[in-house]
Every structure is written in structure tokens, then in C-alpha cells.
């Protein structure tokens, strides 16, 4: 993931610019489904970044950082040139000390490279804070983006800084190398080596040979020979040069090839390698950090997980309230009725019921259930005087029953509805069942209507 | 209907009034918005409950009004039966056409229309009540429609008449199944869906694929719940309440008011989490009357709550010692054992002492900002070591009950506290992980990785609890 994409993604996640349905639609694309989670985040950022206000913060940051980087690179290069000039300063009498040059141009950069590697390991392990994450708060254009509060991952900024620092070091080394080459072309410099330590030419030569191993086979001229090492050693009591050195003055300049190659291989080469390694690592860190951004996990879930919906799409239509009328309640059944009806019952059941309830009547009829409408009409027509209607309490009154009741009320002088329970309930209706019947019957306004209960 | 276009399967849930049609739809559609009422005729319009995945409907359930004048309808059909048996459905269509504007047959038109448009029939009866002949007219009408059908025996009450029902239904339906919508039983739900898939060969794939999706749906809900609970814990433990200071030293009343305000905010956070969990599980209409409020009313800081949901002083001590020892052991490991395992021992002692002292302490009220001149009192973050276990226990208890509550249930959810609940989810291993996370939450230090670990543990617990 690129740094710009990372910043855009963070800003987009903060703004919540789309719905979960839109995210899922995005995720249903075949191309998106084949991508890795990080690539999906990047693809989503790419397709939505146009929604961010322009100039985009991320692009401004990148531009600003590029400017800063270019400036620091320029300064590093100039510093490299000046350092090179100082190191190669040759007054025609004292030769340039190779060890001194190597110390400043080769070993110090190598040491800093080593420190960088160690700190990389430490940063990776312990997530060290260098305070760089606050850098964005001090950017001059931050004011243009009021309310934009990005939570910055310090790890990202540490790696960003280190990556740029490698470029600066690289430019410094190139500055030194360029100065060396230019000085060699424009001046006749004598190189020699000198140290207070008691190092013999054999020992020094072995060390230099070891250093030259990478280019020894394909550029042997850049490996100082033992003779050259021996001839170019000079001591502190110089001022007047050794005779041996003077005899081989033309060869003393040969050192430049070795110095140029060692700078190129150990400083420039390794730094370039480290830069690429850091660039790769920086991308990995950005990828990891992108997954830790607030809302990233949710985004990926919404892109990849199906939206399942099981509920009703429309609201339930409220039932119109029915008028409730007062209904007569009979505490107990009479001893006898002119007619007894059994609604939704067969004859055997009605006979049993009459027997159990001990309510007398000359006329007993069953209606509803398997009877036809014509049969019911005929039975209703026979009803005269007071009618007791047994109904199954557990079966709520349907409109079929209400039609029958309306017709019955038209011919009878009094109609008493008696909801009865099941046989196991000893024909006693439950309170809840009675209430249902009572509520339904109260929609009828008729003085002749009674309910037992 | 265009025959060339393949329609998704539809199932009309039909039957006598008050036999639990709406309850069955509620349970199968996982929707608590369906009105379930004892009063007959509550459902006056059919209502659709589609199971959709990414906007594509896999199948649709239709809640319909009950039969009101079935004998009238059957009489009409028989009176107009001048066709052979293979064309009987046309007579039903003719009935709909003739009576579509007749308010007398509103309910029958509402229930027959989707069937004649191709919906399968799920005929619902109450197996806890005796069979009656009055049902035969309804079943006969449904047979006239010629649509694939099955019968579901629902049990509203305790009595059982399912044997006589099965004998009667067997004459009209190829498939008769029993289903209790009041119990949230995933296996039963799947069994019903499998039966529905068998009604028509063309519907099999769509309905069967929905079975797998219901699993995914539940996983999504568990994940969301785990996230909500983890967020609650992280927020509650790091909560800080501040108040400007008007007098020096601060009066006892001001201190108490600040502590009360702190507790109120914690309770609000818990309440918000509960509402979120209820929304996640489509239980937004769950009735929270006294019994449920009683759950809320138990003081988070009371010793009863600590006993039921949190850890006892002894359990907390063990957790503190082990988590402290684990931290200390890290030092031992770092020095390859040259510390003579003192790190582990010291860690255990420090953890144990901290846990012991932190049992009753909530969080002291401090006066801050003296140097800057703007003095204020502050309470939080939470110091009480047991508080997170109490809060987590309560959140898990609530989530578990909501997740396992059937959508057909309309009664008040009574969350009766049970001391055995803790033993169902809190293992020694989990306590160690949780303790580590609680410590981080208290420090207010953002640690996304640890939060995710916490979320995963809760997800694991919820999955286990729900699976029973």
C-alpha cells in the first residue's frame, strides 16, 4: 500500500462515506473478491478517494514530504562534496591519509548503517516512539483541514523517516564519491597511509585485500598491491618524505581506485540495498497498519460478508378498533332452554354435553363444522324463544359464527352463548378463552345476547 | 405472472385464526415485529418476510389472516365446480376474481391470492387442542388450489392431541411436521426449512442454500455482540469523570455527586450495550418490564452482584496471582532463568496483593490541576478489580438470553440471576487472558491487538453458551 493511499483510507474511514449495502455491492465484484484483504482496502480507497475534499490532505502531505526530502537530499549531497573536499585536501607536500579518508567516508557510514539495522529491529519489536507521529499536526496546510484528526501510527512515521534518512545518507556518500573522482581528474594527489598504531604493511595489506574481496576478481587494479602498501606508509616524523616514497611518487595516486570502489560497494551499494529493503518493509508496515485503522475491520467484513435480511420489509397494518358494547353476562345457565345449539360439534358430543351440564331442552341441534350453510339456515329458522349455544371455548369466533349468530338473534328472543372447555378441562373454559369470546361478542349491540361467564 | 422468469419460492402460512401462524412466521423469520395476539383477526393483511442475501430473495414467508368464512368459500367453489379435477384451481381463481372487492371475504382473498400466484402452503394447526370437523372446509379449499403443501402442528398449550391431528392431516397433506415456535431451536428451524425445500423440486436449491446462510447470519450476530461487549468493557474501565472544583478542600457532597455521576454513566453504558445487543438479534421489541428492570436494578457495585456475576475474593486472588506470575515469568525468561525464578514469585505476590486490595475499591476521587490553577476533581479509570467480571458476566448473561430467545415469544424476559452461570464460561485460562486485557483497558492505552484478543474470547464464550 502506498503512503498516499494509507492516508486517504484513514480519512475515508473517518468520514463514513458509504452505507454497508454500498460496501457489499462493491465487494460483490468478481475482481474485488479475488483480491487479498489489503488489496481490497486499497481498491476501495481508489474507488472512493474522489469523494474527499480537494486538495486532498494525503496528496498535500506527500507533496510536502517530497519537498522536504528533496531539500534534505540536496543538503546531504552538498555536505558530501564538502566533506570530500576536506578529506582530499592536498597541499603538494603531505599526502592524503588513506586511513583518515576510509574512517570518515567508509567506516562511519558503515557504522551508521549498522545502527540503522539495529534500530530497525528494535522499532519492529518494541514500537518505539520518536514523536514523529506529531509531524502532521505542524504542517502548514493542516488548518485547511479543520476537524481532520487522524490517529497516526507511530510505526508508520518512524519507518517513513528511516526510509528517507537512507536516501540522505546515500546522497552524502555519492557527494564524497563524486568529489573523489573529480579531484582525481583535476589534481595529481598522492595518497599514503599513516597510523600511530603499530600496524605492519603485511597486516594492513591483508585487511585491504579482505575489504576488496567483492571486486577483487573483476577489477584487480582496484586492489592495492603489497608493494603499494609498503611504499605508501609514512611516519609522523614526516615533513620530509621518505626516499622510498619519493622514488615511487607516480604510484601513490593508485589508491584512488580502491577508495572509489570501497565507497561505491560498502557505502553506496549497501545503502541502496538498505533503501530498497526499507521501502519494501515500509509497504508491509503500511499494509499492517491499514488493517489496524479504526473502521478497517468493519469495512472488510462489510465488503466480504453477505448482507442477510430476514425481517418484514413493511410495517404491519394496525387493525381498526372495533366498537365494544356492553354485553349481558349470565352467571349460571338456566335449568332449561327452548332450543340448544352446538356450534362446530357433532351430535354425540352435544348429547354428552347436555347430559353433563344438566340443562334441559326439547330441541337440540348441531350447526357449523361439517354442516352445509343450507342446513344451518334451516336449523336457525326452527329456533324460537330462548336459545343456548354451546361453543368450543378454545376455537375463537370466526366470521362464519358471527353470521350465524346474527341470523339467530333475528329469530330468537334470547341467545346465551356458553363457551365450554375440553373434556380434560372438565368442560370448564379458561379465563383467557372466555375473554376472547367476550371481546368478540361485544362487537354486537343486541339486548337479546347473553354470555355465560 | 411471466412463466419465463424464475421466481423465488414463496410460502403462505395459513390456517384457522389464533393457531399461531404469526408466531411461526416470527420464529422462522427471526423477526419480533410480528403482532402476536390472542384476539382473532389480528392479522388483516398478508405480510411478507423475505430471506434475502445481498438483496437477492432466496425465499419469502407470508403471514396471512386466518380463514373466517371457509364454509362459504367451499360452498361457492362446489357450486361452480363444472370442471375436471385438474382444473379445479381455476375455480379458486374465479372465486378470487369475483370476490376481490368484497369485504366479507377480505381474509380469504388475502390468503388465497399468494397461493394462486404460486406460493407453497404451510397449514398451521394447534396440536394442544382437539381436532374438529370445521377444519375440513379449510383443508378442502387448500386442496382445490393444487399448490404444494405441508402441515405444521404447533403446540400452544400443554395438552397433546397431535395423534388425532396427524391422522386427520394425513388425508390432506403429504407432509406433517411438529414445530414449537416458542423455543429457539436451530435444529428444528433447519428441519422445517428442509421440509419446505421438499415441497417443490424447483425450490430445493434456494431453500437449502438459505440453511447455510442462517448459520452465517448467526455467526455475524455473535461477532457483532462480541464487539459490542468488548467495547463496553474497554469504555467502562477507562471511563473518567471530571468536575470543576469550587471549594478547597472539596466538600464530601461534591465528591459523592461525582461518584454518583460516574456510576450513572457506567450504567448508561451498560444499558446502551443491552439495547445494541437486542437490535443485533432483532429483539428490539423485547418487553423489559419489572423483571428485566430488576436485572438492571441490581447495583453493579453491590456485593450480591459481585457474588453472582463477578469473582469471589478468593477467585480474584487466584486470577491476580496467576496473571502476576505470568508477567513475572517473562522477566525470568528474559534473563534465561538467572533470576532464580524470582520474577514469577514477585509477580505473583504483587498480582495477589493488588487483587486483594482492589476487591472493594472503586476509584478514588482525586483533585487535579493544582499547578495549572484550574482545579478539578476526577474519578476513574475503574480501579475495582472485580468490576470488569461483574460487568462482563451481566453482559454475557443478557446477550445469551437474548440470543436464545425465540422471536415468537412476547412475554417479559425474566433474567433470573444464577450463580452457576459464571461456571459455564469462566475458565482459569480465560480469566488469565481477560485479566491481562482488563489491565490494559484501565490504562487507557490503545491496543487494538489486545482488544481483538478480548473480542475473540467473548465470541468464543457466546458461541459456546448459545450452542448449549
Reading the block at residue B378, the C-alpha cell is: 476526577
Q: Are strands B366-368 and B376-379 parallel, antiparallel or unpaired?
A: antiparallel
Assess whether pLDDT exceeds 80 at residue A87: yes
A118 contacts A144 by C-beta, under 8 angstroms:
no
B35 to chain A: which residues are within 8 Å by CB? 316
Residue contact B282–A432, C-beta within 8 A? no
**Helices then strands, each counted (H, E), chain B:** 17, 9
Query: A312 and B33 in contact by Cβ < 8 A?
Result: yes
pLDDT over 70, % of chain A: 87
* Contact (CB<8Å) B72/A28: no
Q: What order do you get walking across the sheet with B47-53 strand by strand?
A: A308-309, B47-53, B56-63, B10-15, B120-126, B149-154, B175-178
| Torsion sign across C-alpha atoms B328, B333, B339, B341 | positive
Question: Any chain B CB within 8 A of the CB of A23?
Answer: no
Which of these, B251, B178, B240, B186, lies nearest to B213 by C-alpha position? B186
Are A306 and B54 a contacting pair at CB < 8 A? yes
Q: Do A372 and B75 touch (CB under 8 A)?
A: yes
For residue A301, give how far its alpha carbon lies from the nearest alpha carbon of chain B (Å).
9
Q: Is the pLDDT of residue A173 over 80?
A: yes
Q: How far apart are CA B90 and CA B146, in angstroms?
A: 10
Q: B449 contacts in A (CB within 8 Å)?
A: 292
Q: Given an 8 Å threshold on Cβ–Cβ distance, is A311 in contact with B282?
A: yes
* Chain A residues near residue B33 by CB distance under 8 angstroms: 311-312, 315-316
Is A313 near chain B, with CB under 8 Å?
yes
B146: left (phi over 0), alpha (psi -120 to 50) or beta: left
Q: Report the complex ipTM.
A: 0.77
B contact residues 394-413, partner A, Cβ 8 Å cutoff:
none
What the block records as the C-alpha cell of B139 is: 383443508
Task: Read off the C-alpha cell for B299.
Answer: 447495583
Write the secondary structure of A333-375 as one string of H (helix), E (strand) and C (coil): CCCECCEEEEECCCHHHHHHHHHHHCCECCEEEEECCCCCHHH
Q: Any chain A CB within 8 A of the CB of B361?
A: no
Q: How far is CA B148 from CA B17, B110, B204, B321, B390, in A?
A: 21, 18, 13, 65, 53
- Tell me which residues of chain B have a pLDDT lower than 50: 1-4, 289-301, 306, 331-341, 359
Q: Rounded to whole angstroms, how far apart are CA atoms A354 and A342?
A: 10
Optimal mutation site among B45, B51, B55, B71, interface A, most CBs of chain A within 10 A: B71
C-alpha pair distances (Å), A224 with each of A90, A190, A220, A273: 20, 14, 8, 26
Nearest CA in chain B to A153: B446
Cβ-proximal residues to A124 (8 Å cutoff; 6+ apart), any chain = none
Determine whether the interchain pair A436/B40 forms a contact, defined as Cβ–Cβ distance below 8 Å: yes
Which CB contacts under 8 angstroms, 24+ apart, belong to B294-300?
B294/B415, B295/B394, B295/B398, B295/B415, B295/B417, B296/B267, B296/B270, B296/B271, B298/B417, B300/B263, B300/B266, B300/B267, B300/B270, B300/B387, B300/B390, B300/B391, B300/B394
Nearest-CA distance from A82 to chain B in Å? 47
User: Chain B contact for A24, CB < 8 A?
Assistant: yes
pLDDT of residue B292: 35
Show the beta-strand stretches assigned E in B2-88.
10-15, 47-53, 56-63
Residue of A nearest to B74 (CA): A372
What pLDDT, on a 0 to 100 scale, did the predictor assign at position B288?
Answer: 59
Supply φ then ψ for residue A286, to 5 degrees.
Answer: -60, -40
| Cα B237 from Cα B247, distance rounded (Å) | 28
Residue A89: its pLDDT value, please? 78
What pLDDT was estimated at residue B197?
A: 92
In chain A, which residue's Cα lies nearest the Cα of B213? A308
What is the Cα–Cα distance from A294 to A405, expressed in whole angstroms?
A: 67
Closest CA to A225 of A254, A190, A199: A254
- Residue B299: phi, psi to the nearest 5? -65, 130
Residue A436 forms contact with B (CB below 8 Å): yes
Nearest to A393 by CA among A423, A368, A369, A420: A420
CB B289 within 8 A of CB B412: yes
CB-CB neighbors (< 8 A) of B50 in chain A = 309-310, 313
Interface contact A308-B51, CB threshold 8 A = yes
Minimal-distance CA residue of chain A relative to B130: A422
Using the beta-carbon criterion (under 8 Å), do B39 and A436 form an inter-chain contact? yes
Sign of the torsion formed by the C-alpha atoms of A402, A407, A408 and A409: positive
pLDDT of B349 reads 58
Q: How many Å apart are CA B31 and CA A77, to the nearest integer?
A: 70
Q: Which of B216, B423, B391, B233 is nearest to B315 (CA)?
A: B423
CA-based nearest residue in chain B for residue A296? B448
Q: How many CB pairs under 8 A join A and B?
A: 127
Element (H, E) at B71: helix B70-79
Q: What pLDDT, on the 0 to 100 scale, is given for residue A366?
A: 95
Q: How much is the pLDDT for B148?
A: 96
Predicted confidence at residue B338, as pLDDT, reads 46
Q: B284 CB near a chain A CB, below 8 Å?
A: no
Take residue A421 and report the three cell numbers written for it: 372447555
Does a cis peptide bond (omega within 30 degrees of 0) precede residue B249?
yes
pLDDT the model gives residue A163 = 85
Q: Evaluate if residue A367 carries a pLDDT over 90.
A: yes
Round to the nearest angstrom and report the end-to-end CA distance of chain A: 78
**Under 8 Å between Cβ of B355 and B321:** yes
C-alpha span between A160 and A136 (Å, rounded): 13
Alpha-carbon distance B315 to nearest alpha carbon in chain A (angstroms): 33
Residues recorded for chain A: 453
Average pLDDT value for chain A: 85
Q: How far apart are CA B189 and CA B197, in angstroms?
A: 12
* Segment A246-282, tens digit of pLDDT: 566 666 777 888 888 988 988 889 889 989 988 998 8
Q: What would the pLDDT profile of B99-142 be if each residue is shown by its tens digit? A: 999 999 999 999 999 999 999 999 999 999 999 999 999 999 99
A319–B41 CB contact, under 8 Å:
yes
Structure confidence at residue A143 (pLDDT): 64
**Residue A314 per-residue DSSP state:** S
Cβ contact (<8 Å) for B69 and A398? yes
Q: Which of A123, A90, A434 is nearest to A289 (CA)?
A: A123
**Angle at the Cα of A145 from the Cα atoms of A142 and A149, rounded to 5 degrees:** 85
| pLDDT surpasses 70 at A80 | yes
The three cell numbers locating residue A21? 449495502
B359-392: burial string, b at 16+ Cβ within 10 Å, e else:
beebbebeeeeeeeeebbbbbbbbbbbbbbbbbb
Rounded to whole angstroms, how far apart are CA atoms B42 and B262?
Answer: 46
- As a whole number of angstroms, the distance between CA A154 and CA A159 comes to 9
> Is-contact B127 B178, C-beta < 8 A?
yes
| CB spacing of B71 vs A424 below 8 angstroms | no
DSSP-derived secondary structure letter, B336: T
Residues of B with Cβ-Cβ distance to A310 under 8 angstroms:
29-31, 49-51, 217, 282
CA–CA separation, B224 and B218 (whole Å): 10
Interface test with A, best of B78, B110, B132, B228 (most A CBs within 10 A): B132
Copy the grid coordinates of residue A331.
352467571
A343 beta partners: A367
Residue A426 touches partner B, C-beta closer than 8 Å: no
C-alpha cell at B243: 468536575
Amino acid at each position: 500500500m502506498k503512503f498516499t493511499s494509507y492516508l486517504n483510507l484513514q480519512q475515508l474511514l473517518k468520514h463514513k462515506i458509504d452505507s454497508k449495502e454500498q460496501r457489499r455491492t462493491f465487494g460483490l465484484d468478481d475482481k474485488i473478491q479475488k483480491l487479498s484483504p489489503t488489496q481490497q482496502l486499497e481498491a476501495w480507497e481508489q474507488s472512493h478517494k474522489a469523494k474527499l475534499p480537494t486538495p486532498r490532505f494525503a496528496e498535500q502531505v506527500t507533496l510536502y514530504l517530497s519537498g522536504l526530502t528533496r531539500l534534505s537530499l540536496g543538503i546531504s549531497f552538498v555536505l558530501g562534496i564538502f566533506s570530500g573536499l576536506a578529506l582530499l585536501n592536498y597541499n603538494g607536500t603531505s599526502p592524503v591519509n588513506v586511513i583518515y579518508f576510509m574512517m570518515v567516508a567508509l567506516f562511519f557510514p558503515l557504522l551508521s548503517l549498522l545502527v540503522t539495522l539495529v534500530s530497525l529491529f528494535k522499532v519492529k519489536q518494541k514500537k518505539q516512539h520518536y514523536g514523529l507521529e506529531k509531524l502532521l499536526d505542524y504542517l502548514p496546510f493542516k488548518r485547511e483541514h479543520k476537524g481532520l484528526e487522524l490517529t497516526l501510527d507511530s510505526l508508520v512515521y518512524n519507518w517513513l523517516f528511516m526510509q528517507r534518512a537512507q536516501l540522505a545518507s546515500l546522497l552524502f556518500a555519492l557527494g564524497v564519491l563524486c568529489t573523489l573522482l573529480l579531484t582525481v581528474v583535476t589534481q595529481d594527489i598522492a595518497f599514503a597511509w599513516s597510523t600511530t598504531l603499530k600496524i605492519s604493511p603485511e597486516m594492513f595489506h591483508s585487511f585491504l585485500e579482505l575489504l576488496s574481496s567483492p571486486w577483487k576478481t573483476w577489477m584487480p587494479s582496484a586492489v592495492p598491491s603489497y608493494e603499494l602498501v609498503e611504499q605508501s606508509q609514512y611516519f609522523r616524523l614526516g615533513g620530509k618524505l621518505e626516499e622510498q616514497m619519493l622514488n615511487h611518487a607516480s604510484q601513490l595516486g593508485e589508491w584512488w581506485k580502491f577508495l572509489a570502489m570501497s565507497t561505491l560497494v560498502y557505502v553506496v551499494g549497501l545503502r541502496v540495498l538498505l533503501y530498497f529493503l526499507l521501502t519494501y518493509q515500509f509497504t508491509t508496515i503500511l499494509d499492517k497498519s491499514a488493517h489496524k485503522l479504526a473502521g478497517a475491520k468493519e469495512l472488510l467484513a462489510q465488503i466480504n460478508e453477505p448482507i442477510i435480511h430476514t425481517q418484514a420489509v413493511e410495517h404491519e397494518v394496525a387493525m381498526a378498533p372495533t366498537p365494544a358494547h356492553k354485553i349481558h353476562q349470565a352467571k349460571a345457565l338456566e335449568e332449561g332452554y327452548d332450543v340448544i345449539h352446538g356450534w362446530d360439534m357433532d351430535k354425540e358430543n352435544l348429547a354428552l354435553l347436555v347430559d353433563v351440564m344438566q340443562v334441559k331442552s326439547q330441541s337440540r341441534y348441531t350447526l357449523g363444522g361439517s354442516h352445509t350453510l343450507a342446513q344451518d339456515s334451516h336449523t336457525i329458522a326452527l329456533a324460537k324463544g330462548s336459545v343456548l349455544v354451546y361453543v368450543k371455548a378454545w376455537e375463537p369466533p370466526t366470521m362464519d359464527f358471527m353470521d350465524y349468530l346474527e341470523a339467530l338473534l333475528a329469530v330468537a328472543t334470547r341467545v346465551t352463548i356458553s363457551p365450554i372447555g375440553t373434556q380434560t378441562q372438565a368442560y370448564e373454559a379458561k379465563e383467557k378463552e372466555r375473554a376472547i369470546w367476550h371481546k368478540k361478542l361485544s362487537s354486537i349491540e343486541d339486548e337479546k345476547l347473553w354470555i355465560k361467564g | 405472472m411471466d412463466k419465463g422468469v424464475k421466481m423465488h419460492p414463496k410460502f403462505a402460512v395459513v390456517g384457522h385464526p389464533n393457531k399461531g401462524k404469526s408466531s411461526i412466521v416470527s420464529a422462522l423469520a427471526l423477526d419480533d415485529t410480528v403482532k402476536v395476539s390472542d384476539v382473532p383477526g389480528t392479522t388483516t393483511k398478508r405480510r411478507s418476510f423475505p430471506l434475502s442475501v445481498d438483496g437477492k430473495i432466496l425465499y419469502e414467508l407470508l403471514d396471512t389472516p386466518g380463514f373466517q368464512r371457509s364454509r362459504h368459500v367451499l360452498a361457492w367453489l362446489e357450486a361452480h365446480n363444472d370442471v375436471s379435477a385438474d382444473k379445479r384451481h381455476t375455480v379458486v381463481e374465479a372465486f378470487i376474481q369475483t370476490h376481490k372487492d368484497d369485504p366479507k371475504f377480505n381474509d380469504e382473498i388475502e390468503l388465497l391470492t399468494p397461493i394462486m400466484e404460486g406460493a407453497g402452503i404451510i397449514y398451521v394447526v394447534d396440536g394442544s387442542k382437539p381436532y374438529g370437523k370445521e377444519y375440513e372446509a379449510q383443508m378442502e379449499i387448500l386442496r382445490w388450489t393444487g399448490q404444494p403443501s405441508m402441515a405444521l402442528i404447533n403446540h400452544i398449550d400443554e395438552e397433546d392431541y397431535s395423534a388425532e391431528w396427524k391422522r386427520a392431516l394425513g388425508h390432506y397433506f403429504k407432509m406433517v411436521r411438529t414445530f414449537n415456535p416458542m423455543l429457539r431451536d436451530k435444529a428444528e428451524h433447519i428441519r422445517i426449512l428442509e421440509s419446505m425445500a421438499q415441497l417443490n423440486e424447483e425450490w430445493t436449491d434456494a431453500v437449502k442454500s438459505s440453511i447455510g446462510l442462517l448459520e452465517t447470519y448467526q455467526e455475524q450476530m455473535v461477532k457483532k455482540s462480541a464487539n459490542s461487549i468488548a467495547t463496553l468493557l474497554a469504555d467502562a474501565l477507562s471511563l473518567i469523570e471530571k468536575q470543576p472544583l469550587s471549594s478547597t478542600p472539596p466538600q464530601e457532597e461534591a465528591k459523592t455527586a461525582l461518584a454518583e455521576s460516574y456510576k450513572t454513566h457506567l450504567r448508561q453504558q451498560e444499558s446502551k450495550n443491552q439495547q445494541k445487543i437486542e437490535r443485533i438479534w432483532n429483539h428490539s421489541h423485547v418487553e423489559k418490564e419489572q423483571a428485566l428492570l430488576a436485572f438492571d436494578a441490581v447495583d453493579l457495585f453491590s456485593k450480591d452482584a459481585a457474588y453472582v456475576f463477578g469473582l469471589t475474593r478468593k477467585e480474584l486472588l487466584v486470577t491476580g496471582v496467576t496473571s502476576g506470575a505470568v508477567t513475572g515469568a517473562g522477566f525470568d525468561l528474559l534473563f534465561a532463568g538467572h533470576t532464580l525464578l524470582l520474577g514469577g514469585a514477585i509477580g505473583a505476590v504483587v498480582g495477589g496483593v493488588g487483587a486483594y486490595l482492589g476487591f472493594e475499591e472503586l476509584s478514588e476521587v482525586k483533585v487535579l490541576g493544582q499547578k495549572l490553577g484550574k482545579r478539578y476533581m476526577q474519578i476513574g479509570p475503574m480501579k475495582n478489580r472485580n468490576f470488569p467480571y461483574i460487568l462482563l458476566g451481566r453482559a454475557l448473561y443478557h446477550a445469551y438470553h437474548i440470543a436464545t430467545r425465540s422471536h415468537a415469544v412476547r412475554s417479559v424476559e425474566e433474567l433470573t440471576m444464577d450463580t452457576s452461570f459464571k461456571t459455564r464460561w469462566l475458565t482459569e485460562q480465560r480469566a488469565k487472558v481477560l485479566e491481562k486485557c482488563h489491565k490494559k483497558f484501565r490504562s487507557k492505552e490503545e491496543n487494538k491487538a489486545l482488544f481483538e484478543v478480548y473480542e475473540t474470547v467473548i465470541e468464543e464464550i457466546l458461541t459456546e453458551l448459545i450452542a448449549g
